Amino acid sequence: MNLYQMVLKDILRRKKRIIYAALGVVIGTMTVVGIMTTALAGENKIVAQLEKYGPNLNVVSAISNLDMKLGDLNLGTVAVGDNYIQQDKIPEIRRITDGKIREYLDKSALQVFGVVGDNDNIATIAPKLYVPANIKGASVMLVGIEPEPEQIIRTWWQVKSGGFLKEGQEVMAGASAATLLKLNIGDKVAYKENEFTVTGILDETGSTEDYELFVPLAPLQVASGKEGVISSVDIRALCKACPVEIIADSLNQAIPGIRAVAVKKVAQTEMGMLDRINKFMLALAGITLAVGCFGVANTMMTSVHERIKDIGIMRAVGASRNQIIQVFLEEAIIIGILGGIVGYVAGSLLAYAIGPLIFEGAAVSFVIRYLPVSLGISILVAVIATAYPALMAARIRVADSFRSL
């Protein structure tokens, strides 16, 4: 009979003791898998929610301030540079932005956001044109936008009446602008020789957007005589791991005449929140594993004391200390495999139970790639926990087994 058969027979003979030992591994592994699965679902939900924060990169014209002095007398500053960005720079802005994101996110991460092909757009890019106008005797800011990307970025916009802006001679009014100008759905807004029909009125946002009138970009460019130029570009990247500051630096270096600024508050909020969640989860998982390790070690030490007679007989028939250690380590590996499989299933079910409670509305699912992780952790914990008891067992002499009778 070889050692493997002896280990299997001993496990079948001592089922309860093995179950108790495996239970500690199962609890530790279950907690780790449950935390990891819940954290993954939570991260995906948080990233989706943080997408509602708006742009995290803003591109404007590179205007510099020139100090005007006469001797020691400061005459103030003068803005130097073009107030507009050439619209034909947008493809280059997209190329650089998407390229940097691809460098930092692997294909599996991009697929989560629906990016499959190498030529698929990643970032949301929304150009704007600001044109001051006089509407019904009041000074108002007309803002030219592309409706689709703007709606993706400004997810906090709620249409109070009418519908969202589309292409054509349409205008969507901010809440305060609609009140001050007494605009209703279907009214006409005249600008120079053009008329725009009010198709929507936004709910109050508490920002300057409440006082603006939004029209499609192309018609406003034509009406204002500013074809081919824009005032700014808002960029919304996939900020779970996007280096927004590096993207901003790359844009500034590669494209003359623009100034890209990373909205650090949004980026830092995203990264900081996710980092804190991950650190907390890892700390909790480490504590649970340590408790499980001590539980397994205690069970195995009890097993050594109960098996002094068996170990003495093995030593009497010629078993070496290494073989004694090997018996316990093989037993630990079997306990680890059983604990890893059961712990993975139990941890995934635990995530299904607690995930929606911690992250409301989070979609929890079995994560197959965590099965090898679960097996690796459980086997490692079982082997580490068994190391000391196995060494103690190897030191047992034949005479010790007689004293235990």
Q: Provide the residue ranges of all domains of the chain, joining segments of one domain with +.
A: 3-48+272-403, 57-263
Instruction: Give the pLDDT confidence score for residue 264 in this predicted structure.
Output: 57
Structure-model confidence comparison of residues 121 and 238, the more confident one: 121
129 DSSP 8-state letter? E
* C-alpha span between 392 and 396 (Å, rounded): 7
Spatial separation of the C-alpha atoms in residues 81 and 77, rounded to whole Å: 13
pLDDT of residue 92: 94
Mean pLDDT computed over every residue of the chain: 78
State what percent of residues in the chain have pLDDT above 70: 74
pLDDT tens-place string over residues 145-157: 999 999 888 888 8
How would residue 365 be classed by pLDDT, with cut points 50, 70 and 90?
Answer: confident
**For residue 183, which of 198, 169, 171 has the smallest C-alpha distance?**
198
Residue 188: pLDDT band with limits 50, 70, 90: very high
Instruction: Determine which of 79-88, 147-156, 169-178, 213-222 has the lowest per-residue pLDDT on average.
Output: 79-88
Taking residue 355's Cβ as centre, other Cβ atoms within 10 Å add up to: 24
| pLDDT(299) > 90 | no
| In the block, residue with structure tokens 């279950």 | 30
Give the pLDDT confidence score for residue 64 in this predicted structure: 47
Say which residues have a Cβ less than 8 Å from residue 288's Cβ, sequence separation at least 6: 27, 28, 31, 32
* pLDDT higher than 80, residue 161: yes
Task: Give the pLDDT of residue 223.
Answer: 92
Q: Distance between CA 231 and CA 369 in Å, rounded? A: 47
**Which pTM value belongs to this model?**
0.54
Query: For 6-27, how does the pLDDT look when each residue is reduced to its tens digit (9 = 90+)?
Result: 666 666 666 777 777 778 788 8
Q: Which residue has the higher pLDDT, 372 or 330?
A: 372
Confidence at residue 176, expressed as pLDDT on a 0 to 100 scale:
92
CB 44 within 8 A of CB 244: no
> For residues 183 and 200, what is the distance between their CA atoms, to the nearest angstrom?
10
398 has a pLDDT exceeding 70: no
Residue 111: band (very low, low, confident or very high) from pLDDT cuts 50, 70, 90: low
pLDDT at residue 321, rounded to an integer: 73
pLDDT confidence of 77, banded at 50, 70, 90? very low
CA 277, chain centre distance (Å): 10
